[in-house]
Structure 1
Amino acid sequence: MNTPTAPALPVDLEQLLRRMRLPYLRKAAPDVLATARAQRWDPAEVLRVLITEEVTGRDSATRRMRRRTANFPTGKTFSTWRAEESSISEATQNSLSTLEWISRGENLAVAGPSGTGKSHFVEALAHAAIEQDLRVAWFTLETLTQTISKSKVDASIARTVARICRCDLIVVDDIGMLPAGQDAAEAFYRIVDAAYERRSIAVTSNIHPSGFDTIMPKTLATATVDRLLHHAHLVQTTGESHRLAEALAGKGVTPLKQP
């Protein structure tokens, strides 16, 4: 059975809602008003439902925009995270998942062998942060270096660093996969120093942060790690690569159909 279509809004009301830039309220209004008339809602209830539609719609749009601007690598969330297979203790996973450490401006460093779920776990935390209306920026050390280096051209380094540090959580992924030169070490230091005790930084690395001086200039590495770890949760993952295990088990690809 077809549901009857709610009558359209009067043209003048439609124009007013467009002028007031209330798209979600405008979209919901025909159905809400039809229901209100049929069920004899109190006027205050009508107003509450319509305003709630607008607020909910705007919040959802903001989260979508923040996901796009965060520049996540894969879109992995806790919906695909297998907590029981992680070497990170359940208590640590649960504690970090509350995101209280972000509200306190604390950092997170996750170190361990490649393929042990470091990036997946941190990205899931970052997605959860956006769901709690926080702002996130995601970088690899390479993309962070590129971003800072570009700002040197027009002498806007301070503005670029300030813009990045407006985010509640700044992620630098996969440190240690490649040697880091002076520019990379400088870019990393600038962000860690500017965010120190103000914003949260999460890093993933296949080496312990105390070993960053083996991949970048020692002076900058020492100053960076000193600030990074002062108020930080250090998590170490262990075990074999999940990616390699899946590949060896034939789970990395869709089986080919036999002719």
Structure 2
Amino acid sequence: MAAPASAVAAATGQAYEEAIALTKRLKMPYFRRALEEVVPTAKAQRWDPAEIVRVLLAEEVAGRESSNLRTRRKRAGFPTGKTFHVWDETASSIPAPTQQALRTLEWIGRRENLCICGPSGTGKSHFSEAIGQTAVDAGLAVSWFTIEDLGAIVRRHRVDDTVNKAFNRIARADLIIVDDIGLLPVSDDAAEGFYRLVDSAYEKRSLAVSSNLHPSGFDEIMPKTLATATVDRLLHHAHIAVTSGESHRLNEATTGKGVVSFSS
């Protein structure tokens, strides 16, 4: 009976090279990179074999999780990278208990929606992106759009009649964010795209929408029939957060905090 290949390799001093080859076949790059450091350390400190395996597998898991996080963040398409690390909870007009409840992300698990509405500069986009960043950190898939992005998707996929497929694919994300609705009139394609997205995600995925208008006023910027159908689905299982007050951006500008002061 032939000896196992691993036993032959060990006897001829080729165990390390074989281990490298196996990590390549198993696609374990972080395990492979750690071998160079872990093997001599384990020999010098006489580690238990189980400890060697544990450390190497832990390196592989940590590496994969870090890589997956970077991939999810890139795919989300966030516009600025704003997080809760630079968010002042006390400066927001959204009640603190509401902020804290939304930050738990439990509403995403329940397939509920979030609508943040209020004047420009009151933190809607920042809060929306920070929620999205938190969801990515928690291992969820997130996608970020403006409403005109949705119109572009409609136009691009109308050519080959794959609009439904496109929006069903978008709705695979755990959280879809649509930012800055209401600043300008919505094109017909964008209105259609918004409706298609809301319809595709209805009771299956969570949407977070930020707008200068309350959703009940969406018929001011898009066709009434589409607005009615969209808002009906959007608000059925939705939390509504209303922001108020002066623009944080304008306040920083008028107090000189929006730029770095020139030295005298």
* TM-score between the two structures when normalised by the length of structure 2: 0.91
Matched, 1:71 2:77: yes
Contact 2:151–2:187 (Cα < 8 Å) also in 1: no
Matched, 1:56 2:96: no
Matched, 1:97 2:110: no
Give me the whole-angstrom Cα distance separating, in 1, the residues matched to 2:164 and 2:229. Answer: 19
Unaligned runs of 5+ in 1: 1-8
Contact 1:180–1:216 (Cα < 8 Å) also in 2: yes
**206, 226, 231: which one pairs with 2:232?**
226
Give me the whole-angstrom Cα distance separating, in 2, the residues matched to 1:148 and 1:99. Answer: 30
Matched, 1:206 2:212: yes
Give me the whole-angstrom Cα distance separating, in 2, the residues matched to 1:11 and 1:115. Answer: 59
Identity %: 58
Between stretches 219-228 and 179-188, larger displacement belongs to 179-188
Between stretches 154-163 and 233-242, larger displacement belongs to 154-163
**1:107-145 deviation digits (Å, cap 9, x = unpaired):** 000000100001101100101101111000100001121
Give me the whole-angstrom Cα distance separating, in 1, the residues matched to 2:40 and 2:121. Answer: 55
**1:83-106 deviation digits (Å, cap 9, x = unpaired):** 111111110111000000001100
Q: How many residues align?
A: 250
Aligned runs of 1:1-259 on 2, under 5 Å? 10-258=16-264
1:257 is displaced (CA, Å) by: 4.0
Contact 1:116–1:237 (Cα < 8 Å) also in 2: yes
**1:180-221 deviation digits (Å, cap 9, x = unpaired):** 132111110001011000000000001100000011000100
**1:36-75 deviation digits (Å, cap 9, x = unpaired):** 2233222222212211111111111111111111110000
Give me the whole-angstrom Cα distance separating, in 2, the residues matched to 1:59 and 1:153. Answer: 38
Give me the whole-angstrom Cα distance separating, in 2, the residues matched to 1:142 and 1:65. Answer: 24
Unaligned runs of 5+ in 2: 1-14
* Divergent runs of 4+, >3 A: 9-12
Aligned to 1:6: none
Q: CA RMSD in A?
A: 1.3
Q: Which amino acid in the other structure matches residue 199 of structure 1?
A: R
* TM-score between the two structures when normalised by the length of structure 1: 0.93
Give me the whole-angstrom Cα distance separating, in 2, the residues matched to 1:81 and 1:34. Answer: 46
Any idea what SS the aligned residue of 1:207 has?
Answer: coil
Q: Which amino acid in the other structure matches residue 72 of structure 1?
A: F
Q: Which amino acid in the other structure matches residue 248 of structure 1?
A: T
Give me the whole-angstrom Cα distance separating, in 1, the residues matched to 2:98 and 2:244. Answer: 14
